[in-house]
Structure 1
Amino acid sequence: MLRILKNWSERYFSDEEAVYLLVVLLAAGLVILFFGGMLAPVLAAIVIAYLMQGLVAGLERRGMRRLLAVNLVFTLFLGLLVVTLVVLLPMVWRQTLLLVQDQLPHLLKNGETWLRQLPEHYPEVISMEQVNSIVAVIQRQVAEAGQGVLTLSLSSIPNLVEVMVFLVLLPLLVFFFLKDREAIIAWMMRFLPRRRRILDHVWHEMDDQIANYVRGKAIEILLVGSVTFIAFLLL
């Protein structure tokens, strides 16, 4: 057993760069595991800044200065954030209330009528007692869900302060991660060994795969959103 473990360790960890990679992955995992909630704004800002870096790099390739490109991309991000908070969230809230107050009772009534017709057409499959039991369960669940939605308000959210802090910190962190990206990366590189061929290879490959994933998701969102919009417009 000891010989097997020794051969396995010599095979995979004989190169010190593999050890460095393992240490970096373990450290990142432990930080997220134990401090993920506390560092949520930082982690979210890192992800958003990473995704927006592509736009900044594209503007730089077209001759724009980096600071101006960062300001333009960050203004776009702020605009989308404000539209989401001011326009989309109230709209979703109103539609949810409309669904619970008006549409859901109507749908429930039609569904109950359809269920009560089943014993007449399929008496050997379902009985009226089973239908009554199903209807009672559905009515109870819908009443509980509707009560929960209607009683939910900002004053009842215990983590309102955390949400506000998150909304304030997130844009600031995104801006500084974009603006000082090179300085932050240079500072982080000080803690890594100078000989890091494997780390650089893993990072470049991961960077390419994440970029491909983001582009694919953007195309998917565009296609699904367009088809869904057209379908609902026709309906």
Structure 2
Amino acid sequence: MCNKRGGNSLQPEKRSFFSTRFIQFLGGKNLLFGLITLLLLGCIILIYDKISFIFYPIIVFIKTVVLPVILAMILYYLLRPVLHLMMKWKIPKIWAILMIYIVGLSLISLFVTLVFPFLKGQFLNLIQEFPNYFMQVVHSVQDMIEKSSLSETLTKYNFNINEVLNNISNQLNVTVKDAAKELGTSLATGITGFISTLTGIIVAIVTVPFILFYLLKDGEKLPKYILKLLPPRMREDAAHVLHEADHQISSYIQGQILVAFCIGVMVTIGFLIIGLDYAVVLGVLAMLTSVVPYLGPIIAITPAAIIAVVNTPIMLLKLAVVWTIVQLVEGKFISPQIMGKSLHVHPITIIFVLLTAGSLFGVPGVVLGIPGYAVLKVFVTHLFYLFKKRYNKYTDHPDLEYEINDWKKTNNN
């Protein structure tokens, strides 16, 4: 009897499917719950696709709220260092925020009364004269080809360059006229939509100061409130992710705005020195487009190059010198000092992100694609960090283990 009992007690216990090493590595019973969650999520998506009209008010609410929230967050990250500096000077928080608002409203009033009318006049003149500049460039290219040896080669192969350039100019004129007609038709037939869009923009502009006020006042309490909603076991990891995401967004917005401002000032000064027409407007255009990395400078230099070519070839050479100096100063001195190493993103990755985000979301996607990618990268990086810890826990061979570094070191390398 004892031997039998002893024999039964020595028999290995039967292991369940969820207790195997591979399933434990994947998550054990959590794997089953994860699969069930994915199945339920798929069912929810399927149901939503069938009854999406029920959620239309929610979609309208999100579309209405997202613009003022994004604008307020950009201003919050720009003004937060100023607020912290004023608080170091022993100024109460509420009074510091009110002082920031007073200074901001004063600067906006000065811009609207002094700078905006000049920029508006210059911009309208540039819009009216730009087609003439473009046609002069086309005719210059046409004359240059006709006087060169390339004309004989094109004639030999029955390629009429004059006809091609005339077709391009005619197509450009037709496109401009059709766009004007479509704009007039859309304005005539879509007054309701136009008024709705205009109302949404006005509401966004009006609500931004209120959202910004509460962000400056209580914005630093928001991460703590979010952490309290999470289970205690997740709070440490969530705190790391929130802190790093906040650092990435703050560094990108503050750095990119400062870099764009410096580029706009340098381009304006350079164009004024060489005597290029519409120097201030082109400088402002360079400042606005510099917010988009790599693609922005190409957009900014195009109209300036066309205007320079129409003036004289020497002006084009001067423009090239100014633009080269600006890009060298920005790339070698300004960006490394302001941006630092806040975003560890390869230039090819940035271009792919800009193209993909622009195709999916248009202009907002181009502007917000890089910070969105930075936040997503922080989240994915931390998930991979947790994966490495779990892998090391269930691996047998020490040579196959991942090197686990500190969280800050992992994100800074």
Same fold by TM-score greater than 0.5: yes
Are 1:135 and 2:169 an aligned pair?
A: yes
CA-CA distance at 1:56 after TM superposition: 0.9
- Check conservation: 1:45, 1:171, Cα contact below 8 A: yes
The structure-2 alpha-carbon separation of the partners of 1:111 and 1:183, relative to structure 1 and needing over 3 Å to count, comes to closer
- Check conservation: 2:142, 2:165, Cα contact below 8 A: yes
Equivalence for 2:80: 53
- After TM superposition, the score normalised by the length of structure 1 is 0.69
The 2-side partners of 1:232 and 1:144 are apart by 34
Are 1:111 and 2:111 an aligned pair?
A: no
Equivalence for 2:27: 10
The 2-side partners of 1:114 and 1:232 are apart by 23
CA-CA distance at 1:197 after TM superposition: 0.8
Equivalence for 2:346: none
> Mapping of 1:49-128 within 5 angstroms?
49-80=76-107, 92-101=119-128, 103-117=129-143, 118-121=145-148, 122-123=150-151, 124-125=153-154, 126-127=159-160, 128=162
CA-CA distance at 1:60 after TM superposition: 0.8
Amino acid at match of 2:132: H
Amino acid at match of 2:167: S
- Check conservation: 1:97, 1:149, Cα contact below 8 A: no
The 1-side partners of 2:164 and 2:272 are apart by 39
Equivalence for 1:38: 64
CA-CA distance at 1:44 after TM superposition: 2.9
Instruction: Deviation per CA, 1:79-134: give whole Å up to 9, x if none.
Output: 45556666666655433431232x12431441342244224533223513223222
CA-CA distance at 1:142 after TM superposition: 4.0
Equivalence for 1:22: none
Instruction: Deviation per CA, 1:172-215: give whole Å up to 9, x if none.
Output: 11112222335655554442334511111122222333333234
Equivalence for 2:317: none
**Equivalent position to 2:256, from 208, 217, 230:** 217
**Equivalent position to 2:198, from 154, 160, 166:** 160
- After TM superposition, the score normalised by the length of structure 2 is 0.43
- Check conservation: 1:100, 1:146, Cα contact below 8 A: no
Equivalence for 2:38: none
Q: Structure 1: 5+ residue runs without aligned partners?
A: 15-32
The 2-side partners of 1:81 and 1:185 are apart by 31
The structure-2 alpha-carbon separation of the partners of 1:219 and 1:149, relative to structure 1 and needing over 3 Å to count, comes to same
- Check conservation: 2:87, 2:96, Cα contact below 8 A: yes
The structure-2 alpha-carbon separation of the partners of 1:4 and 1:97, relative to structure 1 and needing over 3 Å to count, comes to farther
Equivalenced residues, count: 213
| Aligned partner of residue 39 in structure 1, secondary structure | helix
Amino acid at match of 2:136: N
CA-CA distance at 1:224 after TM superposition: 0.8
- Check conservation: 2:74, 2:253, Cα contact below 8 A: no
| Aligned partner of residue 63 in structure 1, secondary structure | coil
The structure-2 alpha-carbon separation of the partners of 1:50 and 1:140, relative to structure 1 and needing over 3 Å to count, comes to same
The structure-2 alpha-carbon separation of the partners of 1:167 and 1:212, relative to structure 1 and needing over 3 Å to count, comes to closer
The structure-2 alpha-carbon separation of the partners of 1:149 and 1:181, relative to structure 1 and needing over 3 Å to count, comes to same
Identity percentage of aligned residues: 22
Q: Which has the larger radius of gyration?
A: 2
The 2-side partners of 1:129 and 1:169 are apart by 54
Amino acid at match of 1:136: N
Answer with 88-97 or 169-178: which moved more. Answer: 88-97
- Check conservation: 1:44, 1:170, Cα contact below 8 A: yes
Higher RCO, Cα 8 Å, sep 6+: 1
Amino acid at match of 1:191: L
- Check conservation: 1:97, 1:150, Cα contact below 8 A: no
Instruction: Deviation per CA, 1:39-72: give whole Å up to 9, x if none.
Output: 2223432342243222111211122111111112
Answer with 172-181 or 92-101: which moved more. Answer: 92-101
